[in-house]
Amino acid sequence: EPEVTQTPSHQVTQMGQEVILRCVPISNHLYFYWYRQILGQKVEFLVSFYNNEISEKSEIFDDQFSVERPDGSNFTLKIRSTKLEDSAMYFCASSPPGVGETQYFGPGTRLLVL
């Protein structure tokens, strides 16, 4: 069964450094998302991406964040200058063609900012 994959599984970085989190969505999916989950808290929406552009973003997704689909298979989240409060689990999700309501989540990248 196809699944969303994410790399790396864990990332440790110093405050102020740039990180890029990578995702390979399910191949025929058209909608792509990033969510984050701070330890012990609920999953929070960051951004949705469709037709090569951001379709919606949350107030968390400020100028430090960017997303890109550099080729036909990868979907990346970049944090330009990480802060301590960016430490969280980051999940990528994708949805198939159609109304795109069903989202399939990847296993996540645990980011720790020191």
Partner 1 sequence: QQQVKQSPQSLIVQKGGISIINCAYENTAFDYFPWYQQFPGKGPALLIAIRPDVSEKKEGRFTISFNKSAKQFSLHIMDSQPGDSATYFCAASRVTGGGNKLTFGTGTQLKVEL
Q: Can you give the binding site for partner 1, defined by CB under 8 A? A: 4, 31, 33, 35, 41-45, 48-51, 55-56, 58, 91, 93, 95, 99-108
**Residues 23, 54: Cα–Cα separation, whole Å:** 16
Shortest Cβ distance from residue 107 to partner 1 (Å)? Answer: 5
CB closer to partner 1, 70 vs 97: 97
Task: Tell me the two tokens of residue 8.
Answer: 């790396």
Task: Tell me the two tokens of residue 73.
Answer: 């298979």
Beta bridge partner(s), residue 111? 11, 88
Shortest Cβ distance from residue 16 to partner 1 (Å)? Answer: 28
Task: Tell me the two tokens of residue 78.
Answer: 């970049």
Shortest Cβ distance from residue 42 to partner 1 (Å)? Answer: 5
